[in-house]
Amino acid sequence: QITLKESGPTLVKPTQTLTLTCTFSGFSLSNGGVGVGWVRQPPGKALEWLALIYWDDDKRYSPSLKSRLTITKDTSKNQVVLTLTNVDPVDTGTYYCGRPRGRLIDYWGQGTLVSVSS
């Protein structure tokens, strides 16, 4: 059974760095072809893809956020970490991690709501 769960702060101040962790089970990032991705959703708005990391450490980022995003993996812990620097209130939203099948996310975590406010 594949599960993913996001964790991290619920409130972050503007200009700070947001660090989110995706802890998963039922698959391994040491297996070929496997990856983990992040998608976010501002309140009442559409989904926005952020980043992907694959088993071979291939990383892909949203161009609009690339300068602020970093995605890393810890294969031994079954975790993927996403950091977003210099946050702004527009970064408020629910952040989801998911397991892609190729580039298509077929399993999603429940999401974690992050608010950016002073």
Partner 1 sequence: DIVMNQSPDSLAVSLGERATMNCRSSQSLLNSINNKNYLAWYQQKPGQPPELLIYWASTRESGVPERFTGSGSGTDFTLTISSLQAEDVAIYYCQQYYTTPLTFGGGTKVEVK
In the complex, the residues that contact partner 1 under the rule CB under 8 A are: 37, 39, 46-49, 52, 60-64, 96, 98, 102-106, 108-111
Q: Report, in Å, the least distance between residue 114 CB and partner 1.
A: 15
Q: Report, in Å, the least distance between residue 63 CB and partner 1.
A: 6
Q: Report, in Å, the least distance between residue 74 CB and partner 1.
A: 23
Residues facing residue 46 across a β-bridge:
none
CB atoms within 10 A of CB 47: 12
CB-based contact 6:97 (threshold 8 Å)? yes
Name which of 43 and 118 has its Cβ closer to partner 1. Answer: 43
Q: Which residue has the tokens 């298509």?
A: 104
Q: Report, in Å, the least distance between residue 96 CB and partner 1.
A: 5
Q: How far is 61 from 53, CA to CA, in rounded Å?
A: 9
Name which of 16 and 113 has its Cβ closer to partner 1. Answer: 113
Name which of 15 and 47 has its Cβ closer to partner 1. Answer: 47
Name which of 80 and 111 has its Cβ closer to partner 1. Answer: 111
DSSP secondary structure of 66-101: TTTEEEEEEGGGTEEEEEE-S--GGG-EEEEEEEEE
